Amino acid sequence: MKKRVLVASNRGPVSYQFGPDGTLAGRRGGGGLVAGVAEGLAAMTPEAEVAWICAALSDADRAAARQRRADAAGPGSVPVRMLDIPPEVFDRAYNNVANSILWFVQHLLFDTPNQPRFGREFRQDWAAYLAYNEAFAAAMADEAGGAPAAGVRALIQDYHLALAPRLLRDKLGDDYADLGIAHFSHTPWAPPDYYRMLPAETAEALLDGMLGADHVGFHAGRWAGAFLDCCAVILGAQVSRAGGGGSTVGHVTHRGHVSEVAVHPLGVDAGALRARAAADDVRAQAEVLAAAAQGRKLIVRIDRTELSKNIVRGLAAYRELLATRPEWHGRVVHLAFAYPSRSALEEYRAYTEQVRQVAAEITAEFGTPDWNPLILEVKDDYPRSLAACTVADVLLVNPVRDGMNLVAQEGPVLSEHGCALVLSREAGAAATLNGDALLVNPFDVSQTAAALHQALAMPDAERRRRSDALAATAAASPPGRWLGDQLAALDR
């Protein structure tokens, strides 16, 4: 009998749009989490019955959910079940809790003299977050088959669904003796002193929810270690730490159940990525970018306009490079490509405008009639982003804090002549790429400017050597292996 593998995530591998005649058309969904999980599932579909459960994110998605559309999507043709969660519940759970509270906690982003504030309204938002997680747990229990069965594996993704492992375990109970639940966090994890700014009942519920899983995964050892610390300090759980250098970093015993905590760095499918970059639309974009550069060095960044991505300090570092190293005037162009992110939140709209303002100031200060030092585009254009990676001389990835960061890995894999990577030490990817990247403190603008100069001045042979080594590391943990290792851990 094939295993039944259930994937649960807020965003799914398919999204819907209304056509001119009102009919629904599905297309592949976006986002790094979706891409990584979808590619991982593609490698296992022949050996497992897979279902992907996600939330309806738009009116068209909700219409598809009400029609019980279950379109197969993405690599491996995974069937998708969308949940029509009431819009107010979804908004409170997603925007007010997951993205305004949990994301800010895990990335240490709060302006603590002013935020957060946990009053009556937050408790209402938290009730919605619980209802949202309960909807996913109910759907997973239904997809498990509705009767005692063997070989059910649930792979629950990210901070949106921190409560779902416990809720699912409680729903299925002892009838599913071979039930295996994994929860994976794609974000960092905050240390106890920061994490405990959450209300006590909230902090405990999140940890307890995740410990309903048999296997709790993170991208980097720092994040896994911080989670173990929180379990010990906040819950008073029994925590043991593993040695030996394997993926397992420890175990947590809580409410009579043992959860394994492990590290699974997510890399890229180098072959598939390079094949996509060879397509005509990407090659055409690469020609456009090369023409815009006019033979100059290219510094590339590709990010969402997300507060944690640190775009404004990155622009400030480029500005300082031009101010302190006039030898680069007329010889370098910064391609800053940003995807609009979370525009429903005021902080994000304001941050996007700040990015635009700083970029305009740099162009006004340094630009000449025959040299545009900076090209900023705030729009979603995947072929353009791939093309930028192929032609980059320097890739700047300087997040304040990041669970992993796939762009830091995709850039070297796609580079056609070798790119130097300037990488924040606070990115999860720094744990695996630190030997060949130029690591920087993301808050130190001057250090980042100096690293940009070092990267631009790097001899071609050295840049190629580093780029090749970075690409090999990125390709060593493709999504299929990343997801397969988690399933193997559940099988143990």
pLDDT for position 339 = 86
pLDDT for position 246 = 80
Mean pLDDT of 157-169: 97
Q: Count Cα neighbours of 28 within 13 Å in the Cβ-side half-sphere.
A: 16
DSSP 8-state code for residue 94: I
More confident residue, 80 or 314: 314
Q: Is the confidence at residue 6, as pLDDT, over 60?
A: yes
Backbone angles phi, psi at 23, to 5 degrees: -75, 160
Q: How many whole angstroms separate alpha carbon 316 and alpha carbon 313? A: 5
Q: What is the pLDDT of residues 130-153, one digit of tens each?
A: 999 999 999 999 998 754 555 789
* Percent of the chain predicted with pLDDT > 90: 77
pLDDT for position 31 = 60
Report the b/e string of 259-274 with b at 16+ CB within 10 A: bbbbbbbbbbbbeebb
Q: List the structure tokens of 272.
A: 């598939």
In the sheet with 420-424, reading across from the earlier edge strand, the strands are 374-378, 332-339, 297-304, 394-397, 420-424, 438-440
* Percent of the chain predicted with pLDDT > 70: 93
Pinpoint the alpha helices (H) of 392-459. 407-414, 430-433, 445-457
Q: Is 83 exposed, middle or buried (0-12, 13-18, 19+ CB in 10 A)?
A: buried
Q: What value, to the nearest 5°, has the Cα angle with vertex 150 and ends 143 and 7?
A: 40
Q: How many whole angstroms separate alpha carbon 352 and alpha carbon 349? A: 5
Residue 116 vs residues 110, 199, 221: alpha-carbon distances, Å: 7, 10, 27
Other beta carbons within 10 angstroms of residue 360's beta carbon come to: 12
Q: Is the confidence at residue 202, as pLDDT, over 70?
A: yes
Could you tell me which residues come within 8 angstroms of residue 396 by beta carbon, excluding any fewer than 6 positions away? 299, 300, 301, 314, 317, 318, 422, 448, 452
Q: How many whole angstroms separate alpha carbon 51 and alpha carbon 139? A: 11
Report the b/e string of 205-242 with b at 16+ CB within 10 A: bbbbbbbbbbbbbbbbebbbbbbbbbbebbbebebeee
pLDDT for position 9 = 95
pLDDT for position 199 = 98
Q: Is the confidence at residue 73, as pLDDT, over 60?
A: no
Mean pLDDT of 178-197: 96
Could you tell me which residues come within 8 angstroms of residue 418 by beta carbon, excluding any fewer than 6 positions away? 460, 463, 464, 465, 466, 467, 468
The mean pLDDT value of the chain amounts to: 92
Mean pLDDT of 461-471: 98
Q: How many whole angstroms separate alpha carbon 140 and alpha carbon 146? A: 10
Q: How many whole angstroms separate alpha carbon 325 and alpha carbon 88? A: 52
Q: What is the pLDDT of residues 313-346, one digit of tens each?
A: 999 999 999 999 999 999 999 999 998 888 778 8
Q: Is the confidence at residue 103, as pLDDT, over 80?
A: yes
Look at the alpha carbons of 453, 459, 461, 465 in this order and tell me if their dihedral is positive or negative: negative
More confident residue, 2 or 15: 15
Span of 90-104, 304-318, 341-355 with lowest mean pLDDT: 341-355
DSSP 8-state code for residue 368: B
Structural domains of the chain sorted by starting position, each given as residue range(s) with its CATH number in brackets: 3-266+479-491 (3.40.50.2000), 270-475 (3.40.50.2000)
Yes or no: say if 52 and 155 are a contact pair by the CB < 8 Å rule. no
Q: List the structure tokens of 390.
A: 């192929």
Q: List the structure tokens of 392.
A: 């980059």
Peptide bond preceding 116: is omega within 30 degrees of 0, i.e. cis?
Answer: yes
Q: What is the DSSP string of 31-68?
A: SHHHHHHHHHHHTTGGGEEEEEEEE--SHHHHHHHHTT
Picking from 168, 162, 166, 176, the residue whose alpha carbon sits closest to that of residue 138 is 168
Q: What is the pLDDT of residues 350-371, one digit of tens each?
A: 999 999 999 999 999 999 999 9
Picking from 85, 94, 81, the residue whose alpha carbon sits closest to that of residue 54 is 81
Q: What is the DSSP string of 150-178?
A: S-EEEEEESGGGSSHHHHHHHHHGGG-TT
Span of 64-68, 321-325, 327-331, 458-462 with lowest mean pLDDT: 64-68
Q: Is the confidence at residue 348, as pLDDT, over 90?
A: no
Per-residue pLDDT band at 468 (split at 50, 70, 90): very high
pLDDT for position 467 = 98
Q: How many whole angstroms separate alpha carbon 5 and alpha carbon 483? A: 11
pLDDT for position 402 = 97
Distance, first Cα to last Cα, the chain:
18
Mean pLDDT of 62-77: 66
Q: What is the pLDDT of residues 115-132, one digit of tens each?
A: 999 999 999 999 999 999
Look at the alpha carbons of 59, 158, 311, 429 in this order and tell me if their dihedral is positive or negative: negative
Per-residue pLDDT band at 205 (split at 50, 70, 90): very high
More confident residue, 380 or 274: 274
What's the pTM?
0.94
Other beta carbons within 10 angstroms of residue 84's beta carbon come to: 17
Q: How many whole angstroms separate alpha carbon 418 and alpha carbon 470? A: 10
Q: Is the confidence at residue 74, as pLDDT, over 50?
A: no
Report the b/e string of 18-29 with b at 16+ CB within 10 A: eeeeeeeebeeb
